[in-house]
């Protein structure tokens, strides 16, 4: 069909008959004549068969208009021609041609009416076009005639009038251009006056006017000049914006923001502002540190200016470290304050714009939406910038903190550093709500490093103090409390630097809910880092005032003249506490002064007197206060500090035990062979029964565990210089301290002083007092302790602090073991005849001798109490030990008896009752310790065989020797030999597991 349509298009608009006549011979051959068409129509052909014939035609016949069918058919002929096949193929082509021709004819006849109708319309259109051509020709002729009818003079007048109007407009434009060329002078003046909004407004108006006359060549140069001027204004505006980063001025910043608003670059201005703040932080810290480095270097060497900031921080000297840090924080505070005021300005500006009435028109609403979007962008940018600015500040301060090794700083200097950083972290929390993880981590690293070195030095100092301590009483007020010491003042203060940032919010909210923030407090001037020195001075003055001394020299004179109290005013003879953080008095207080000033608990059992402590105890308490102050400022190292605090107490406890709780004096061969160091020795040979596992004088299992733990974890038992490598002691030994040695000034072997009882009382009771102070501080330490580490603190209190009072038993037991001559009593008892036949009415002499010993002990105890107050608990322990030892000596003496009658047993009871009666007059201790221990042993003589066997099994408190003697003495009276062997076998069975 496409070939048919293209053929018709090439032939033009002709009738079907004409079209048929114009066809080429080939085409004429292909298209049948009218007669043939008629015949075809008349021939009855099945439409389905006709369609099958058409479908059998090769598709190549329909491929394109330029297809040569003759050539195609000829090329298809085989090399060997067969006439019959050719004729059959020709007939097939004729059938196909006939079918196509019939189909074409049917289509032509079907569309012929429409073709004829359309041909008539084309003919009519051709006629109309010829008429239009004639009309146009006539119109042109008439127009030419009209043109010739007008004169040139009339048209010239119109042309001159038009030229005049153009020249008038040109003159006005030239005057405007002249004005534009003179605006650069005014713009320069306005920039010098910092009238940026006016300069930008004028420049924009000039650009608008220049765009009107841009068709003039001179205006193109002026327009480029105005553009350069506008860029220059933007550069100066950027410089003016950068000035607000260090010193914020409301009017100046308002002009700058208005100028950027006119430029339509408020968002760009905010981006530039943050870049300037970052640059301001870097430049500020670099200049501050560079100034101190050059000042300390003392020369004008320019190598420092080329250094990186991190490297520059390593050249800060120790003396200039704190002033430089303070100035650094002051400068950074100014930058953050400027940012804070910038945010305040935008908040107030947004409120003013929001309060303004919006334009109800559509254009006004569109502009309002753009303004809201701009304000939202600025607000979010400023909020995000808070964290970014604070992060830059933290990184700069971190580089400064880690640039210097602070392990050798003085304690007060390091506390100042912590105080400054703590206040800076408080600033950060108020600035952007940050926990300041970067600062906390850096100061934690320095603090751990410093504290390890500081604590190691303090432990060595404590060892030195203990080795030089004479264990004399340090006079303090009767109402003495550690809260009065300078080191514990921080517990009663709410000063912000003493509270860590993450705890200050809650504490400040609880104490003063309306507390003004630092930014509000210093909004108009001042600096939060300028108050450090003033605070230190105020604290020092408060301490001096609380002492009651007007000067350090006066206090020193009090120490020097304490013995000669005749020339000292009465008010200076009172108890006092040395509040100076450095030296402590080493001169002992005269016995006469103490006698006139106080009375002992031994004489007044319930008298409320001053606590018993030494200068070393006071130093340990001060150290604990310093450690706690460091914990309060820096929470992340709280566990490390508390661990070190526990080591101070551990070392003090271990020293007291080592000095006074051990008895290293050799004992005689009559003593038991397997005895521990903690068991004591008397003046002469000590009986072996003293060391039986009856609980007397032995250290409790909890205390023994504590001492073993301290010795393993804290005490360096190796000799000095041993196992030392080329690089010093190994790390585990560096954490340990050598065991202290008792000062040679302390004599513990003199019987006249009850074997150093005064020193023992001072040492032991000072440890008990120290434990009481630790109990007082437990809640404070628990509040500072991380939750995960609180079990350590609880274990320290339950297993160490609570054992301090248990040291009284082994320490005073040594005195009790030597104060009474128990060996003499044993010898006297051995000379008594116990197998008497009649009941005696008079007790033996050894009882009077023993009571005489107790009277002398009581007198010497009274003499010691004149030197140092002996608390009631101490005197009770001493009397308990002495009485227990005496009673056990009696049992041992009775156990040495070879023969004894019933009358002899009665004499034993008489002796013991006489001893108890006289003893109760000497002491108020009730009940008498081990009274039943003696009475039960004496009465066991009367037991039968069965009762005796049960007695042996139930009374393990007696030694094997004592039980065996009891059986042997009873032999012959009411126990036979067979029973004796049975009872001795029972005793042996009891003793076998102990071997």
* 726 three-class SS: coil
In sequence order, which residues have a C-beta less than 8 Å from that of residue 892 and are 6 or more positions away?
687, 689, 826, 962
Q: DSSP letter for 683, please.
A: S
Q: Are 291 and 398 in contact (CB under 8 A)?
A: no
Q: Are 879 and 812 in contact (CB under 8 A)?
A: no
Q: Are 490 and 632 in contact (CB under 8 A)?
A: yes
Whole-number pLDDT of residue 500:
41
| Rounded CA separation 604/870 (Å) | 10
Q: Are 251 and 196 in contact (CB under 8 A)?
A: no
| Rounded CA separation 664/651 (Å) | 20
Whole-number pLDDT of residue 409:
87
Strand spans (E) along 661-733: 715-716
User: Rounded to the nearest 5°, which phi and psi values hold at 716?
Assistant: -90, 105
| Rounded CA separation 951/945 (Å) | 10
Q: Name the burial class of residue 917, with classes exposed (0-12), middle (13-18) and buried (19+) by CB atoms within 10 angstroms of its CB.
A: exposed
| Helix locations, 182-317, DSSP H | 183-192, 196-212, 217-243, 250-263, 266-297, 309-313
- Residue ranges of the chain whose pLDDT lies below 70: 1-45, 149-154, 177, 179-182, 184-186, 194, 207, 209-223, 299-302, 356-369, 493-515, 531-609, 663-698, 719-734, 971-973, 992-995
User: Rounded to the nearest 5°, which phi and psi values hold at 81?
Assistant: -80, 140
- Cβ count within 10 A of residue 387: 14
| Rounded CA separation 681/694 (Å) | 17
Q: How many CA atoms lie within 13 A of 535 on its CB side?
A: 18
- Cβ count within 10 A of residue 238: 17
Q: 859 is written with which tokens?
A: 């007198």
| Rounded CA separation 828/824 (Å) | 6
| Rounded CA separation 787/791 (Å) | 8
Q: 349 is written with which tokens?
A: 């500006």
The angle that helices 318-355 and 266-297 make with each other, rounded to 10 degrees, is 160
| Rounded CA separation 11/16 (Å) | 11
Q: Are 865 and 890 in contact (CB under 8 A)?
A: no
| Rounded CA separation 940/973 (Å) | 13
Nearest Cα to 412, choosing from 574, 580, 274?
Answer: 580
Distances from the Cα of 37 to the Cαs of 19, 49, 358, 625, 755, in angstroms?
15, 18, 87, 130, 158
Whole-number pLDDT of residue 698:
65
Taking the CA atoms of 133, 136, 138 and 140 in sequence, report the sign of the dihedral they define: negative
Angle (nearest 5°) at CA 967 between 963 and 968? 115
Nearest Cα to 315, choosing from 280, 282, 281, 286?
Answer: 286
CB burial string 325-334: b at 16+ within 10 A, e below: bbbbbbbbbb
The angle that helices 83-149 and 34-42 make with each other, rounded to 10 degrees, is 120
Q: 215 is written with which tokens?
A: 């068709």
Q: 508 is written with which tokens?
A: 């400040």
DSSP labels, 510-547: HH-TTPPPHHHHTSSS--GGGSHHHHHHHHHHHHHHHH
With tokens 């080493």, the residue in question is 586
For the stretch 3-9, contacts whose Cβ atoms lie closer than 8 Å and that sit 24 or more positions apart, written own/partner, are 3/62, 3/65, 4/104, 6/65
Distances from the Cα of 809 to the Cαs of 194, 560, 680, 798, 912, in angstroms?
87, 37, 11, 19, 25
Nearest Cα to 689, choosing from 887, 965, 889, 934?
Answer: 889
Alpha-carbon 852 to chain mean position: 68
Whole-number pLDDT of residue 44:
56
| Rounded CA separation 22/729 (Å) | 125
Taking the CA atoms of 260, 261, 263 and 268 in sequence, report the sign of the dihedral they define: positive
Q: 89 is written with which tokens?
A: 């193929």
Whole-number pLDDT of residue 669:
31
* 436 three-class SS: coil
* 728 three-class SS: strand
In sequence order, which residues have a C-beta less than 8 Å from that of residue 391 and are 6 or more positions away?
438
Torsion, Cα of 840, 843, 844, 849 (10° steps): 180
User: Rounded to the nearest 5°, which phi and psi values hold at 725?
Assistant: -85, -175
Q: Beta strand 737-738 with 715-716: parallel, antiparallel or unpaired?
A: parallel
Q: Are 609 and 599 in contact (CB under 8 A)?
A: yes
Residue 927: asked if its preceding bond is cis (omega within 30°), the reply is yes
| Helix locations, 150-213, DSSP H | 152-181, 183-192, 196-212
Torsion, Cα of 876, 879, 881, 884 (10° steps): -120
Q: Are 519 and 248 in contact (CB under 8 A)?
A: no
Size of the chain, expressed as the number of residues it contains: 995
In sequence order, which residues have a C-beta less than 8 Å from that of residue 68 and are 6 or more positions away?
none
- Cβ count within 10 A of residue 76: 9
| Rounded CA separation 946/288 (Å) | 97
Alpha-carbon 467 to chain mean position: 39
H/E stretch holding 507 reads helix 501-511
Q: DSSP letter for 392, please.
A: H
In sequence order, which residues have a C-beta less than 8 Å from that of residue 351 and are 6 or more positions away?
none
In sequence order, which residues have a C-beta less than 8 Å from that of residue 860 and are 6 or more positions away?
752, 754, 757, 819
Whole-number pLDDT of residue 216:
67
Q: Are 850 and 883 in contact (CB under 8 A)?
A: no
* 608 three-class SS: coil
With tokens 């569309």, the residue in question is 111
């Amino acid at each position: 069909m496409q070939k048919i349509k293209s053929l018709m298009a090439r032939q033009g608009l002709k009738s079907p008959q004409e079209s048929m006549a114009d066809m080429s011979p080939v085409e004429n051959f292909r298209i049948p004549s009218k007669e043939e068409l008629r015949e075809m129509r008349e021939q009855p052909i099945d439409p389905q068969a006709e369609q099958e014939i058409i479908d059998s035609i090769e598709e190549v016949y329909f491929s394109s208009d330029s297809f040569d069918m003759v050539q195609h058919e000829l090329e298809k002929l085989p090399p060997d021609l067969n006439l019959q096949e050719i004729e059959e193929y020709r007939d097939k082509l004729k059938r196909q041609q006939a079918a196509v021709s019939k189909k074409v004819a049917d289509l032509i006849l079907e569309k012929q009416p429409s073709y004829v109708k359309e041909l008539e319309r084309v003919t009519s259109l051709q006629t109309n076009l010829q008429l239009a051509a004639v009309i146009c020709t006539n119109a042109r002729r008439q127009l030419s005639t009209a043109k010739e009818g007008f004169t040139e003079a009339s048209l010239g007048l119109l042309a001159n009038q038009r030229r005049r109007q153009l020249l008038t407009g040109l003159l006005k434009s030239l005057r405007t251009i002249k004005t534009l060329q003179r605006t650069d002078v005014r713009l320069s003046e306005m920039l010098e006056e910092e009238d940026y909004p006016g300069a930008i407004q004028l420049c924009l108006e000039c650009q608008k006017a220049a765009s009107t006359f841009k068709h003039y060549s001179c205006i193109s140069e002026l327009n480029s000049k105005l553009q350069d001027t506008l860029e220059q204004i933007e550069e100066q505006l950027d410089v003016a914006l950068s000035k607000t980063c260090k010193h914020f001025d409301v009017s100046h910043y308002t002009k700058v923001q208005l100028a950027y608003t006119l430029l339509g670059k408020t968002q760009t201005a905010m981006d530039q502002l943050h870049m300037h703040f970052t640059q301001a932080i870097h430049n500020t810290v670099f200049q501050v540190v560079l100034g101190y480095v050059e000042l300390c270097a003392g020369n004008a060497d320019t190598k420092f200016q080329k250094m990186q900031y991190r490297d520059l921080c390593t050249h800060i000297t120790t003396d200039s470290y704190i002033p430089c840090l303070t100035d650094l924080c002051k400068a950074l505070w100014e930058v953050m304050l400027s940012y804070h005021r910038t945010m305040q300005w935008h908040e107030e500006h947004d409120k003013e714009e929001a309060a303004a009435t919006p334009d109800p028109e559509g254009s006004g609403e569109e502009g309002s939406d753009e303004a809201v979007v701009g304000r939202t962008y600025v607000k979010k940018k400023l909020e995000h910038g808070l964290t970014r600015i604070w992060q830059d500040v933290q990184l700069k301060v971190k580089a400064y903190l880690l640039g210097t090794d602070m392990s050798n700083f003085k304690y007060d200097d390091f506390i100042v550093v912590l105080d400054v950083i703590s206040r800076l972290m408080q600033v950060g929390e108020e600035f952007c709500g940050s926990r300041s993880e970067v600062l906390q981590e850096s100061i934690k690293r320095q603090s751990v490093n410093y504290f390890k070195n500081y604590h190691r030095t303090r432990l060595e100092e404590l060892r030195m103090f203990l080795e030089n301590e004479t264990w004399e009483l340090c006079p303090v007020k009767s109402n003495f409390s550690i809260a009065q010491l300078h080191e514990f003042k921080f517990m009663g203060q709410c000063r912000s630097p003493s509270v860590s940032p993450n705890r200050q919010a809650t504490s400040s909210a609880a104490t003063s809910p309306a507390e003004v923030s630092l930014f509000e407090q210093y909004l108009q001037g001042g600096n939060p880092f300028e108050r450090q020195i003033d605070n230190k001075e105020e604290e020092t003055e408060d301490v001096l005032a609380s002492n009651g001394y007007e000067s350090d020299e006066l206090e020193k004179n009090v120490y020097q003249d304490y013995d000669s109290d005749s020339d000292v005013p009465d008010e200076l003879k009172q108890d006092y506490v040395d509040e100076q953080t450095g030296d402590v008095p080493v001169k002992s207080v005269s016995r006469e002064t103490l006698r006139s000033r106080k009375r002992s608990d031994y004489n007044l059992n319930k008298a409320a007197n001053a606590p018993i402590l030494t200068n070393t105890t006071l130093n340990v308490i001060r150290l604990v206060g310093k450690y706690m102050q460091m914990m309060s400022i820096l929470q992340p190292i709280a566990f490390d500090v508390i661990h070190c605090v526990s080591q101070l107490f551990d070392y003090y406890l271990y020293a007291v035990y080592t000095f006074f709780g051990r008895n290293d004096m050799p004992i005689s061969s009559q003593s038991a062979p397997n005895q521990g160091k903690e068991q004591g020795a008397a003046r002469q040979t000590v009986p072996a029964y003293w060391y039986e596992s009856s609980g007397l004088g032995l250290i409790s299992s909890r205390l023994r565990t504590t001492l073993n733990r301290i010795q393993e974890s804290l005490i360096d038992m190796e000799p000095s210089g041993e196992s030392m490598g080329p690089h010093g002691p190994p790390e585990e030994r560096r954490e340990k301290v050598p065991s202290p040695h008792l000062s040679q000034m302390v004599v513990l072997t003199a019987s006249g002083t009850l074997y150093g009882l005064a020193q023992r009382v001072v040492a032991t009771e000072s440890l008990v007092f120290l434990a009481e102070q630790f109990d007082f501080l437990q809640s404070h330490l628990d509040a500072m302790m991380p939750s995960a580490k609180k079990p350590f603190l609880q274990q320290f209190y339950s297993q160490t602090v609570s054992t301090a009072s248990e040291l009284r038993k082994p320490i005073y037991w040594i005195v009790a073991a030597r104060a009474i001559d128990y060996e003499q009593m044993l010898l006297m008892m051995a000379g008594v005849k116990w197998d008497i036949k009649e009941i005696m009415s008079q007790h033996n002499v050894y009882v009077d001798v023993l009571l005489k010993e107790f009277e002398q002990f009581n007198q010497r105890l009274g003499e010691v109490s004149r030197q140092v107050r002996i608390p009631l608990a101490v005197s009770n322990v001493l009397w308990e030990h002495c009485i227990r030892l005496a009673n056990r000596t009696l049992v041992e003496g009775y156990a040495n008896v070879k023969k004894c009658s019933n009358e002899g047993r009665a004499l034993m009871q008489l002796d013991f009752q006489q001893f108890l009666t006289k003893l109760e007059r000497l002491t108020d201790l009730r009940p008498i310790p081990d009274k039943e221990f003696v009475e039960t042993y004496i009465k066991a003589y009367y037991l039968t065989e069965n009762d005796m066997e049960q007695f042996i099994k139930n009374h393990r408190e007696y030694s094997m020797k004592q039980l065996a003697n009891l059986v042997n003495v009873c032999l012959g009276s009411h126990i036979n030999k067979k029973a004796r062997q049975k009872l001795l076998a029972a005793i042996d069975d009891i003793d076998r597991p102990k071997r």
